[in-house]
Amino acid sequence: MSQRFIIPKFQLPALVARIGVHLPQWPHAMTLTAGLNAAARMKLLPLDSLALLEGRSFFVEVLDTGGRACFTYRAGMFRPLFSAPQTPDLSFRANLSAFMQLLARQEDPDTLFFNRELSIEGDTELGLIVKNMLDAVEWPQLPKLPVFSN
Amino acid sequence: MLRDKIPQLICPAGSLPALKAAVDNGADAVYFGYRNDTNARNFAGLNFDDKAMREGIRYAQSRHREVLLAINTFAQPGRDADWQHAVDGAAELGVDAVILADVGLLDYAAKRHPGLRLHLSVQGSATSYEAVNFAQREFGVRRAVLPRVLTLAQVENVIRNTTVEIEVFGFGSLCVMNEGRCWLSSYATGESPNTVGACSPAKYVKWEKSPGMMSTRLNGILIDRFGDNEPAGYPTLCKGRFDVNGATYYALEEPTSLNVLEILPEIARAGVAAIKVEGRQRSPTYVAQVTRNMRAALDALASEGERYQVKQAWQAELAKVSEGSQATLGAYSRPWR
């Protein structure tokens, strides 16, 4: 782990978000829910935590790309929501670099939250369930691509 | 300084990936809990089910690391059996020790499972050698975790007057630290670590965003308000800013983390058996970051002895994950008595 690939903290130029918000948003929600459903199918997400997400709405916004995704979990599947509810049950907002650092387990969500790089709004307990569910995932070993190799 | 005088490093695991991160980064032992209110980090989605426990124990013990199971809340009226089953389960799983706080449960464990190694939890709130020796005499407790209210001199005094191993906290979020005796969370929500296994449970917490500001409420009580780029803390009463006689400030305590790297040689010299890292509620990333740097410091102490010096790189990574992005020696270094 000594020569890990490090994701730097960065912020994309404001122009990217200004254009991004005007692009169609449905591909983000489609991609995100497809990924989550794949993880659920691989049994990476614990069933007892998934059950607690039933019928709740989630909103993810990448601030510096202008990308937004809204989805729900219903009857065993993550499903895109094409019209976002007025107040989703849970919203995550951060710049792209923070989301990447989170997914790569390079930064701790509490650290990003304390440092105000990650904003979480809505049902706090639901947020904790999602955070703990993702923390408990044992991601399969990534293929040894040059960029990921140790 | 001899290698065998170096305290053990005890690291937190809220999930299997966190446990593996602790082991892979140099923890001598990990501690974890069941997915219920028998442990003081009873948060939704956190902790271990039976399958994860067995895999975690296998992973750690096959690498010659120890596994400690925290059953460190107090048995609630009419539900003694739940806590007793947790202890029976620990004996059956083959953990290296259980960490208990409730004297009734200590008594049960000592009588029912005489071979099971018992540690007195910090929630047991033993701050004197008399209390520690009582736990040894009555229940055969082998190690006690001291609350974070003692100065290093007071810790030394406990160690000089007991044969029980002493474990102290070395890193992690601080609160008012009146462990096992704090009722602030109960005051606000009716629930506390001792009773439901969580301080300021998430269902009572609300983060309210408004332009340029974020407000934190615990069961409706305004705890704090942060400007957009101001660091935030955990939503507990003890870390709130309150209006006191017309001035608004941290009336009880500032959000901060304990970090003992500066006084590691003194801690080792005092005869501390183990150093504990707080944070079962944190992610595997935090566990890896903290364990890695604490291990590096303890190894440096082992090899360099009196020439031990804190490295900037350790402190930088630890500061980053600290609550309030700042660290303190807490009660260990308190000049007044």
- Give the confidence band of B100 by pLDDT, cuts at 50, 70, 90: very high
Domain that holds residue B215: 184-250
Counting Cα atoms < 13 Å in the Cβ hemisphere of A87 gives 6
Tell me the average pLDDT across B141-152: 94
Taken in order A49, A54, A56, A58, the sign of the CA dihedral is positive
Residue B255 clears pLDDT 50, i.e. is over it: yes
Please indicate, yes or no, whether residues B68 and B206 belong to a single structural domain of this protein.
Answer: no
Structural contact between residues A119 and A108, judged by C-beta atoms closer than 8 angstroms: no
A9 and B CB contact within 8 Å: no
0.80 exceeded by pTM: yes
3-state helix, strand, coil in chain A (%, to 5): 35, 20, 45
The residues near B263 (Cβ < 8 Å, ≥ 6 apart) are: B152, B329, B332, B333
Structural domain boundaries, residue A80: 36-135
Last residue of a domain, one of B204, B234, B250: B250
Q: Across residues A128-147, what is the average pLDDT?
A: 75
Q: Taking CB atoms and an 8 Å limit, are A121 and B282 in contact across chains?
A: no
Q: A47 touching B, CB under 8 A?
A: no
Q: Does residue A18 lie within any of the structural domains?
A: no
Please report which confidence band the pLDDT of residue A1 belongs to, taking 50, 70 and 90 as the band edges.
very low
Contact criterion met (CB below 8 Å) for B167 and B145: yes
Shared domain for B237 and B265, answered yes or no, is: no
Q: How many domains does chain A have?
A: 1
B208 shares a domain with B168: no
Contact B22, B287 (CB under 8 A): yes
Residues whose CB is less than 8 angstroms from the CB of residue B288 and which lie 6 or more positions away in sequence, other chains included: A105, B21, B22, B24, B25
Higher pLDDT pick, B184 / A149: B184
CB atoms within 10 A of CB B273: 17
Q: Is residue B179 part of a domain?
A: no
- Is the dihedral angle over the CA atoms B295, B298, B299, B300 positive or is it negative? positive
ipTM of the prediction:
0.84
pLDDT at position B90: 97
**A147: pLDDT strictly greater than 70:** no
- Between chains, do B43 and A128 touch, taking CB under 8 Å as contact? yes
- Specify if A6 maps to a domain: no
CB nearest to A135's CB, from B18, B44, B324 = B18
A108: domain CATH number is: 3.30.1050.10
* Amino acid of residue A114: F
B213 plus B311 within the same structural domain: no
Write down the pLDDT at residue A16: 80
Q: What is the pLDDT of residue A142?
A: 56
Tell which of B250, B281, B304 closes a domain.
B250
Q: Which of B16, B226, B255 sits opposite A136 (nearest CB)?
A: B16
Confirm or reject contact between A124 and chain B (CB < 8 A): yes
Query: Is residue B159 domain-shared with residue B63, that is, in the same domain?
Result: yes
Do B101 and B7 lie in a common domain? Answer: yes
- Closest chain B CA to residue A49: B45
Average pLDDT over residues A5-33: 81
pLDDT tens digits for B17-70? Answer: 999 999 999 999 999 999 999 999 998 889 999 999 999 999 999 999 999 999
> Which of A15-24, B53-62, B119-128 comes out lowest in average pLDDT?
A15-24
CATH number, residue B145: 3.20.20.70
Q: Does the pLDDT at position B4 exceed 70? A: no
Does A15 fall in a domain? Answer: no
Which range among A69-83, B45-59, B111-125, B172-186 shows the weakest confidence by mean pLDDT?
A: B172-186
Q: Which residue has the higher pLDDT, B169 or A108?
A: B169
Distance CA(A105)–CA(A1), nearest Å, equals: 12
In a domain, B33, yes or no: yes
Average pLDDT of chain B is 92
